[in-house]
Amino acid sequence: MTTSQNNPFLEVCNHLKKSAAKLNLNESITKKLLLPDNIRNETLKVRTENGLEELDAYRIQYNNARGPYKGGIRFHPAADESEVTALAATMSVKCAVVNIPFGGAKGGVILDPKQYSEKDLENISRAYVQSFLPYLGVDVDIPAPDVYTTPQIMAWMLDEFEKATGASAPAFITGKPIALGGSLGRDTATAQGSVYVLDEYLKLTKQNTGTLRVAIQGFGNAGATVAKLLAAKGMLIISVADSQSTITNEQGLDVIALEKHKQTGKTLKEFKSTNEEDIHGDPESVLYSECDVLIPAALDSVITGENAHKITTKVILELANNPVSGAAEVLLIEKGIDVLPDVLVNAGGVVVSYYEWVQNRQQWYWDEETVKARLEAKMCKAFDEVLAKKESSMSYRDAAYELGVERLATAIKLRGNF
């Protein structure tokens, strides 16, 4: 039997159903919210250093009632239909929560990118665009980076799209290199947006930023960036982890040194510390750190009903997508732990992707200060709007989903396409 515990899409559907019931939505609109518009599945036939390979690939176009489909493409062994559909549904809600005129989509190729050369990854990227070409476009479906995809991969995809269409189309894809029309501030936007949300939460709960201890699971771009941003605000980063190990120092880690190490392609397990107080542990131990703020910044479903009782933090900032299961959240709330949800917290990436798309279309580019100021205003307003929805008995996730689902339902009803 498939349960929400092993089917991430069912987890998201549970949140959607709960919001639909709270909003008294009719059966037709609720059904529209629970079903993706299009499930695109193609087999990429790619010549790699291993020979001719066939790779399973997806583009799930979930809902475009509020605007063209928008969402990243991930290269990952677990990027199957359920995971990608869950992420596409989440993106639909996320864009509505921060009130940008996009719908939700997500893409994936099932592979381990660490097993492929750079040329292989280029061939795979181009094959993805060719396979899904009829369904992509500036006003149709706009991809972006996600797990294990990069600005360089976006550049290859843009080049392939423009070759196929015979026209310049920088707004076709976001998260591009600056030289190809990428936006200043996009590389740090996901982490920066989460910091703005955390700032608003800390003001609300009257907590002193300088005394807080932080643990971060996932030390890729988003995790490393949020570590630097929070350390700069005076917070103590006491524990960070990648897929191989956790490094902990109760007096605070040197996050700059750790980031430089990771940028060489090495794991945290290979980090040779000059500080004898740095302690290595297994990768899951970061979740159980004695901290004030726990930031899951890796993959989904890392905090479940089975391990939630070990969590001791005061607040969880969901920088990853769907990292806390529904069963876990119930237990965490009972323990007095607030969970700030992904559909609000990590929306900074898609907000600045929207800004990039706008700049590409207008051919009018903003400086980084303008991007950050607009991102801060957007994230703070979204937090306030979620808070306005939150009743005393509601979680932050329930409030955020209610806000997003209400906006989606309004657009669906106005269009009458249900």
Alpha helices in 206-325 (DSSP H): 221-232, 255-263
C-alpha 398, offset from chain centre: 18
Contact call for residues 349 and 325 (beta carbons, < 8 A): no
Provide the annotated active-site residues: 106
Long-range CB pairs of 179-183 (<8 Å, 24+ gap) are 180/155, 181/356, 181/359, 181/360, 182/151, 182/154, 182/356, 183/352, 183/353, 183/355, 183/356, 183/359, 183/365, 183/366, 183/371
Residue located via tokens 């965490």: 332
Write out the two tokens for 131: 């396979």
Q: Residue 157: phi, psi to the nearest 5? A: -65, -40
Question: Which of left, alpha, beta for 218 (phi over 0: left; psi -120 to 50: alpha)?
Answer: left
Q: Count CB neighbours of 333 within 10 A.
A: 17
d(CA 169, CA 157): 11
Alpha helices in 363-395 (DSSP H): 368-389
- Helices and strands counted in the chain (H then E): 13, 12
DSSP 324: B
Q: Residue 66: phi, psi to the nearest 5? A: -100, 0
Any idea what the Cα angle at residue 300 is, between residues 284 and 342, rounded to 5°?
A: 115
d(CA 254, CA 349): 26
Nearest in space to 109 (alpha carbons), one of 84, 89, 87, 134: 84
Write out the two tokens for 35: 């079903």
Nearest in space to 110 (alpha carbons), one of 83, 88, 79: 79
